[in-house]
Amino acid sequence: MTRDYLAEMNETINAALPDGDYVVPVVAHDLVEKLVANDPDLLRGWCEARYELTLADFIHHKVKNRRSVSRESLARTAFAEAARDFAASADASALRKAVRSPFDAEYVVDSALLRRKVRDMTGPDHLFVADGYAETEQTAALLKSFHRAVAKRTGGRRTGEVFTEETYRAMYRSITRRDPEAA
């Protein structure tokens, strides 16, 4: 009989998640240790079934990280290199190398998750990006309002001490116009 590694691992992960406070990397570490010791076939089979998804997720995070690093540290590094070049040559054009082109930034430009550099984007591409920011902005504003209202009512107490689940849901709906996320 062939194992359904994805379903089995889903059940295993759900069982490993505590009801109280936890830290995801610690839960993952403990689960890997447990699986290596007790069911390495499940861990291997699940990893093999998720190769493409895992790699796509890793690439997505790498691209986001690359953008963040580019904005923060690359500018400093490029400036330091350009300053050294300028000091050695007295050529002012060396300082222009410190500026990274905003045309090199990449965005997802359609629902198929196509990534494109700014220099190659069209009007519809920019509208797709703008719509994504507008949706994120609206959602963030609603959730910010909701959590501020809950914080005001709970103070130093726990949410479950102040609200029933139904009251919490009703308050969430009144602010966000949708149901709260479930666990």
pLDDT in tens, 23-35: 999 999 999 999 9
Compute the distance between CA of residue 168 and CA of residue 156 in angstroms, rounded to an integer: 17
In a domain, 28, yes or no: no
Q: How confident is the model at residue 13 (pLDDT cuts 50, 70, 90)?
A: very high
Residue 139's pLDDT band (boundaries 50, 70, 90)?
confident
**Taking each helix axis from N to C terminus, what angle separates 51-69 and 40-49, rounded to the nearest 10 degrees?**
70
Report long-range pairs for 106-109 (Cβ below 8 Å, ≥24 apart). Answer: 106/63, 106/67, 108/132
Q: How far apart are CA 69 and CA 75, in angstroms?
A: 9
- Is 180 a member of any domain? yes
Label residue 68 by pLDDT band (50, 70, 90): low
Residue 161 belongs to some domain of the structure: yes
**CA-to-CA distance for 7 and 102, rounded, in angstroms?**
44
Counting the structural domains of the chain, the total is 1
Does residue 5 form part of some domain? no
How high does pLDDT run on average in the chain? 86
State which residues form the domain around 125.
105-183
Domain membership of residue 17 (yes or no) is no
61: in domain: no
Q: What is the pLDDT of residue 167?
A: 93
Domain-embedded: residue 142: yes
Any domain includes 140: yes
Q: Using the 8-state DSSP alphabet, how is residue 147 labeled? A: H
